[in-house]
Amino acid sequence: MSNKNVKNSVYSSPAGGWGALKSSAKHLMQSENSVQSVKALLRANQPGGFDCPGCAWGDSNKAGKIDFCENGVKAIAWEATSKRVDANFFKQHAITELKTWDDHSLEKSGRLTEPMFYNGENDHYQPISWEQAFNVIANHLKNLSSPNEALLYTSGRASNEVAYLYQLFGRVLGTNNFPDCSNMCHEASGVGMTQSIGTGKGTVTMDDFEHADAIFVFGQNPGTNHPRMLGTLREASKRGATIVSINNLKERGLQKFTDPQSPKEMILFTGTKISGYYFTPRLGGDMALLRGVAKCLLERFEDDKSALDMDFINEHCDDFEGYKHSVELTTWDKIIEQSSLTRAEIEQIAEIYINSKNVIFTWAMGITQHHHSVATVRELVNVLMLRGNIGKKGAGACPVRGHSNVQGNRTVGINEKPSIEFLDSLEKRYSFTAPRNAGFNTVESIQAMLSEKAKVFIALGGNFAAATPDTNRTYQAIQKCDLTVQISTKLNRSHLMTGKKALILPCLGRTEIDRQTNGEQCITVEDSMSMVHSSKGQNEPASELLRSETAIIAGMASASVGDKVVNWLKLASDYALIRDEISAVLPDFENYNTRIEAGRGFYLQNAAAERQWQTPANKAMFSAAELPEQLVHEIAKDKTKGLVFTLQTLRSHDQYNTSIYGMDDRYRGVYGERKVIFINADDMAKLNLIAGDFVKITTVSNDTVIRSVSHFKVIEYDIPSGCIAAYYPETNPLVPLESIAEDCGTPTSKSIPITLEKL
């Protein structure tokens, strides 16, 4: 077999820079609609323009700064393509044929242009009118024996307006079944932070990054996934702040970065060093690392009372003694074993932490997709609290969200476990009885489909079939449904893994002009720093038959539950009316319509940032959880299972979740392929592997299901021994459905026990 591209020639230039510019230009040209794309780009993240659908990083508040990045360019070019997936496309390509295409080829086919129906009888999607499509949905929903047989999935790109309407539709129908992408994403951050400090959202604003003395980046790859954050880190680094990266892999973007918008750096071929310090713990080892830091702080405190902020702890916190006891009980042996860092390295991290007055911790999927994610998030907050780093300028907790409006979706009610106050508030506004029982999250939804407790699946965006774990079982689950409905912009796996009948409802994208009976509409979104701002598309829609997501949900709701409780179509004629509804139900959104008129939007108050703790004890709660009994690598010591590794599944530079833009991963030196595994040289030697060999990967589990993927090419990489990395979604068949984080149900996509077999 070919040995092409195996010598992983690590990218030696700084991240960003000319490489990013070259890649952006390539993607713009390939969009085959470069004029539309460029026009759109100049309006990205600008007042009066649209919010970049790329990520949820906050917008720059510096006037006149162009605010987009290489991956924003890709997202925009991907949406602005001139290719079309129309009725003729579906006539030419049968569903069984399309199933054999890879994810890249499916989405690359272009924009969906008209509603399509698969009637379960022949192998092709056929055109259907919007009204007929809504009637198909209404008939299925009316025939359910309980509204809880319906599942309403949301992907986090949906606007506040459509998300609000969608949750209202579900609740008027009578269910809280709102699985969403955040169940697979930052759920642990929301759950852990709410338990600790009474709010599930980050406590920092963009301004805090300008005042932090140190920023610790845990389990996150901003060079690829939040490139605009690198600009913020670069500024901080230049100003003298210490940046510490804690990542299982040596990520290029976290080492050095050239801002494509800094002419001087571009011309001189220089870059700013981003991380002053870089530590590579074992997968899932962050809680142990943080526990070690806490141990150092407590020990130092014996001689140096400034090591802890006792004023903050005494005034604001609860159960410091319990936590202290738990830290004392944790042995250095266990800490070193689980983190795989040396004691000297952990002491160094503690030293940097103690010597920095104001500190921000940011984190993403490297923290949230493990068994003990909630406990780890709480440990991050514990360590922040020890030095009063919450609720002061330049300091705080910053879970960096993924999808551009995933945070806003939750704020306006996309939640399978809504608060009592929210439901009370809905009941007060509308004359109906809201369902009170908890609904299904993403994993529970798949289980409900498998056991035929759920029969109709509707997805507001996303790619459920590809993004979820245990691919084979998920496919089986979806196929058991009577009806699956996908509201989408582009063709993906979820359109092909259908229920007995299926609908594709094509919608406008974020970059497109949204015209309703009351004129052109804007939508609103909330970023990771709780800034709510408006977004207005600039491009002509990809097809005349497209409808906005809001209009689609309104049409579906009106046909299914009627207009007695809510006048859906009227709300969809003018989104300002929806914002008035949100204002009436959620007090934080008072004067919503007026406040979004301010250029960069408005800030949703965050009680914890004001040191008000909305926990039952009205205190910030230390968590005294013990370290997990065993991590995957410790299970691996059971020799009967052979050589067991821990696999993390992550993103390449050329993808947006399941949307595969291209086959390269420039910063990791991979070109033209995605079926690869990154593995340490010692581990390769143990398995007799050389770079370029192909392997089969099999999950180690206690059930009888066999989970394997094959023909993955070996790439030698700087990664701790025992840890392996490979791309998602190709590796989703390996993640067992039952393998979820404690207390929050997130699939453990970053700690899968696997074995490797040389082919």
Ligand X SMILES: Nc1nc2c(c(=O)[nH]1)N[C@H]1C(S)=C(S)[C@@H](COP(=O)(O)OP(=O)(O)OC[C@H]3O[C@@H](n4cnc5c(=O)[nH]c(N)nc54)[C@H](O)[C@@H]3O)O[C@H]1N2
Contact residues for ligand X (CB under 6 A)?
54-55, 71, 107, 155, 157, 181, 184-185, 218-221, 224-226, 246-249, 251, 281, 283-284, 286, 364-366, 369, 402-403, 460-464, 467, 487-490, 492, 507, 509-510, 549, 648-651, 655-659, 728, 731-732, 735, 749-750
Closer to Mo ion at the Cβ: 358 or 405?
405
140 binds, among Mo ion, ligand X, none (CB under 5 to 8 A by kind): none
**Least distance to ligand X from the beta carbon of 230, Å?**
12
Helix ranges restricted to H, 143-186: 160-173
**Least distance to ligand X from the beta carbon of 414, Å?**
12
Instruction: Work out the number of other CB atoms within 10 angstroms of the CB of residue 263.
Output: 9
107 binds, among ligand X, Mo ion, none (CB under 5 to 8 A by kind): ligand X
732 binds, among ligand X, Mo ion, none (CB under 5 to 8 A by kind): ligand X
d(CA 549, CA 546): 9
The string of DSSP codes covering 274-285 is: --SEEE-PPTT-
Closer to ligand X at the Cβ: 181 or 327?
181
d(CA 736, CA 76): 34
**Least distance to ligand X from the beta carbon of 64, Å?**
25
Closest CA to 488 of 442, 549, 446, 554: 549
Closer to Mo ion at the Cβ: 149 or 526?
526
Give me the count of residues in the chain: 759
d(CA 707, CA 219): 26
- Amino acid letter for position 263: P
Pairing of strands 676-679, 723-727: antiparallel
- Which is it for the CA torsion 649, 653, 654, 658, positive or negative? positive
d(CA 561, CA 501): 21
d(CA 432, CA 527): 32
The reply on whether position 185 binds Mo ion by CB under 5 A is yes
The reply on whether position 729 binds Mo ion by CB under 5 A is no
Closer to ligand X at the Cβ: 313 or 529?
529
Closer to ligand X at the Cβ: 187 or 581?
187
**Least distance to ligand X from the beta carbon of 306, Å?**
28
Closer to ligand X at the Cβ: 198 or 469?
469
**Least distance to ligand X from the beta carbon of 373, Å?**
10
Closer to Mo ion at the Cβ: 405 or 521?
405
408 binds, among ligand X, Mo ion, none (CB under 5 to 8 A by kind): none
Please state the φ and ψ torsions of residue 464, each to the nearest 5 degrees: -55, -45
164 binds, among ligand X, Mo ion, none (CB under 5 to 8 A by kind): none
d(CA 231, CA 55): 14
**Sole window of 62-70, 180-188, 208-216, 737-745 interacting with Mo ion (rule: CB under 5 A):** 180-188
# residues near Mo ion by CB under 5 A: 2
* Residues forming a β-bridge with 516: 519
**Least distance to Mo ion from the beta carbon of 185, Å?**
3
Closest CA to 561 of 517, 569, 118: 569
**Least distance to Mo ion from the beta carbon of 478, Å?**
20
**Least distance to Mo ion from the beta carbon of 657, Å?**
7
**Least distance to Mo ion from the beta carbon of 401, Å?**
7
Closer to Mo ion at the Cβ: 402 or 506?
402
For residue 26, what is the enclosing H or E element? helix 17-30
Pairing of strands 126-127, 242-246: unpaired
On whether the CB atoms of residues 566 and 168 are closer than 8 A, the answer is yes
CA distances from 68 to 205, 300, 687 (A): 19, 44, 44
Residues between 349 and 408 with contacts to Mo ion, criterion CB under 5 A: 402
The reply on whether position 414 binds Mo ion by CB under 5 A is no
End-to-end CA distance of the chain: 10
418 binds, among ligand X, Mo ion, none (CB under 5 to 8 A by kind): none
399 binds, among ligand X, Mo ion, none (CB under 5 to 8 A by kind): none
On whether the CB atoms of residues 227 and 16 are closer than 8 A, the answer is yes
Closer to ligand X at the Cβ: 201 or 595?
201
DSSP state letter for 535: E
Closest residue to Mo ion using C-beta atoms: 402
509 binds, among ligand X, Mo ion, none (CB under 5 to 8 A by kind): ligand X
8 binds, among ligand X, Mo ion, none (CB under 5 to 8 A by kind): none
CA distances from 593 to 355, 581, 586 (A): 45, 11, 13
**Least distance to ligand X from the beta carbon of 309, Å?**
25
d(CA 290, CA 195): 18
Closer to Mo ion at the Cβ: 226 or 633?
226
Closer to ligand X at the Cβ: 254 or 621?
254
**Least distance to ligand X from the beta carbon of 625, Å?**
17
542 binds, among ligand X, Mo ion, none (CB under 5 to 8 A by kind): none
Closer to ligand X at the Cβ: 86 or 425?
86
**Least distance to ligand X from the beta carbon of 730, Å?**
9
The residues, any chain, with a CB within 8 Å of residue 592's CB and separated by 6 or more, are 524, 579, 580, 582, 583
750 binds, among ligand X, Mo ion, none (CB under 5 to 8 A by kind): ligand X
* Residues forming a β-bridge with 594: none
Please state the φ and ψ torsions of residue 385, each to the nearest 5 degrees: -65, -35
247 binds, among Mo ion, ligand X, none (CB under 5 to 8 A by kind): ligand X
**Sole window of 181-189, 430-438, 470-478, 550-558 interacting with Mo ion (rule: CB under 5 A):** 181-189
DSSP state letter for 692: T
d(CA 586, CA 412): 8
Closer to Mo ion at the Cβ: 85 or 460?
460
On whether the CB atoms of residues 737 and 703 are closer than 8 A, the answer is no
Whether residue 729 has a cis bond before it, omega within 30° of 0 = yes
**Least distance to ligand X from the beta carbon of 214, Å?**
16
Residues between 99 and 128 with contacts to Mo ion, criterion CB under 5 A: none
Please state the φ and ψ torsions of residue 738, each to the nearest 5 degrees: -80, -10
Q: Where are the beta strands (DSSP E) in 314-382?
A: 317-318, 359-363
**Least distance to ligand X from the beta carbon of 344, Å?**
18
Token output for 161: 């307006």
Closer to ligand X at the Cβ: 249 or 724?
249
371 binds, among Mo ion, ligand X, none (CB under 5 to 8 A by kind): none
Could you list the residues that contact Mo ion (CB under 5 A)? 185, 402
